[in-house]
């Protein structure tokens, strides 16, 4: 993996002085009412909506159990992921990402942020995925992003595709509950994802000899609508608790998925809900695996607060922006050194 930047050490020593506690407070929500063979109980669904709304408001994070994703498929994906990352670096680089194909394999040696101690494999939920040719020009030209084709392990692409399909089902159910919690129609978000640009990611965090000086992934917020995360038994994810701004360690639950709302939900809700910063710490002795689906809308989606949620007393807090151009501009930041930070939603904030 990459070298530890000496200039980064001082900041990490300060970081470790922050209080870190185990996350007993992150809500755990049982989704079983959504999967009853009979018609769902209206009162049970109403209860779920309230739980989801409270979790989005207070934490921006929650865990879901009885989520409908087959455990056997999850296990198959986990095994395939371990086999892929166990290959030599030479083999993994055969499906490496580049500026033209932004999916595939990459590690910290190929990113500007050498603090991140991990390697990943990215895969598009929709292949091909259409995105704008330019992030700055006002034209309608689009290009296609496509997935790499790893030769090992066998049937790797098929396993990932099958798994993504199950996560998408869960994602759309969660979007319906979030919509209802905001007081809008359950299908309100559905039209934004007709030609989605979602990305699936496999993460591998090798043991780090300097766990007090490095991060598996630095503090950040997620740009999309939702993130659905599966992690193994090794702890690592920390969430910035809104109430006191302290880092909270999320205890792994092998039967649950961790859900967090992203920047798009923050904009659509006109700041009723807020995406929350999180990060990943590393382990000196154990490797850690996780995977996630970042749910992204169609490239032509105009992102702005929902009309139902704005009025004279509560005006729009964001200027509208095109999601595809926003996405392409952020992706380009992975390969270009810039004098300014990458594009963020607060650049569209109305002050």
> pLDDT tens-digit profile of 82-96?
999 999 999 999 999
pLDDT of residue 350 exceeding 50, the answer is: yes
The three-class DSSP label of residue 289 is strand
- pTM of this structure: 0.90
- What CATH number should be reported for the domain holding residue 209? 2.60.120.330
Instruction: Answer whether 130's CB lies under 8 Å from 144's CB.
Output: yes
pLDDT exceeding 90 applies to what percent of the chain? 73
Is 24 among the domain residues?
A: yes
Is 342 among the domain residues?
A: yes
Q: What is the predicted pLDDT for the residue at 341?
A: 66
Task: To the nearest 10°, report the CA torsion of 74, 76, 79, 83.
Answer: -130
Is 11 among the domain residues?
A: yes
Is 1 among the domain residues?
A: no
Instruction: Answer whether 221's CB lies under 8 Å from 276's CB.
Output: yes
> pLDDT tens-digit profile of 248-287?
999 989 899 999 999 999 999 999 999 999 999 989 999 9
Q: What is the predicted pLDDT for the residue at 317?
A: 98
Rounded to an integer, the average pLDDT of 61-66 is 96
Instruction: Answer whether 239's CB lies under 8 Å from 186's CB.
Output: no
Q: How many domains does the chain have?
A: 1
Rounded to an integer, the average pLDDT of 189-214 is 92
> pLDDT tens-digit profile of 229-241?
999 999 999 999 9
| Rg of the chain, C-alpha, whole Å | 20
Is 232 among the domain residues?
A: yes
- More confident: 98 or 161: 161
Q: What is the predicted pLDDT for the residue at 212?
A: 76
Q: Which residue has the tokens 């392990």?
A: 153
Q: What is the predicted pLDDT for the residue at 289?
A: 97
Q: Which domain holds residue 98?
A: 6-348
Report the alpha-carbon distance of residue 315 to residue 110 in Å, rounded: 42
Report the alpha-carbon distance of residue 47 to residue 57 in Å, rounded: 15
Angstrom CA distances, 258 to 116, 145, 146, stand at: 21, 28, 27
Instruction: Answer whether 208's CB lies under 8 Å from 288's CB.
Output: no
């Amino acid at each position: 993996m990459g070298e530890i930047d000496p200039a980064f050490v001082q900041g990490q020593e300060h970081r470790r002085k922050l209080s870190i506690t185990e996350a007993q407070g992150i809500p755990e929500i049982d989704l079983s009412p959504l999967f009853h063979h009979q018609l769902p109980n209206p009162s049970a669904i109403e209860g779920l909506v309230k739980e989801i709304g409270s979790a989005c408001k207070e934490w921006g994070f929650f865990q879901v159990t009885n989520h409908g994703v087959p455990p056997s498929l999850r296990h198959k994906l986990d095994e395939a992921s371990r086999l892929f990352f166990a290959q030599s670096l030479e083999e993994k680089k055969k499906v490496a990402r580049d500026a033209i194909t932004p999916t595939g394999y990459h590690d910290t040696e190929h990113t500007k942020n050498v603090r991140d101690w991990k390697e990943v494999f990215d895969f598009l939920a929709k292949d091909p995925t259409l995105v704008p040719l330019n992030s700055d020009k006002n034209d309608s030209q689009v290009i296609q992003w496509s997935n790499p084709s790893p030769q090992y392990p066998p049937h790797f692409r098929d396993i990932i595709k099958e798994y993504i399909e199950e996560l998408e089902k869960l994602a759309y159910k969660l979007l319906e509950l979030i919509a209802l919690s905001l007081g809008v129609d359950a299908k309100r978000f559905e039209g934004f994802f007709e030609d989605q640009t979602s990305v699936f990611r496999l993460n591998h965090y090798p043991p780090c000899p300097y766990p007090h000086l490095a991060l598996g992934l630095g503090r950040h917020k997620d740009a999309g609508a939702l993130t659905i995360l599966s992690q193994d038994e090794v702890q690592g994810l920390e969430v910035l608790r809104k109430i006191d701004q302290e880092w909270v360690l999320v205890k792994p639950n092998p039967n649950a998925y961790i859900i967090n709302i992203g920047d798009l939900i923050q904009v659509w809700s006109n700041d009723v809900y807020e995406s929350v910063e999180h990060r990943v710490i590393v382990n000196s002795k154990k490797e850690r695996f996780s995977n996630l689906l970042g749910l992204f809308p169609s490239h032509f989606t105009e992102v702005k607060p929902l009309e139902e949620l704005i009025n004279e007393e509560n005006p729009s807090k964001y200027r509208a922006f095109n999601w595809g151009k926003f996405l392409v501009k952020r992706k380009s930041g992975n390969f270009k050194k810039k004098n300014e930070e990458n594009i963020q939603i607060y650049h569209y904030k109305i002050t």
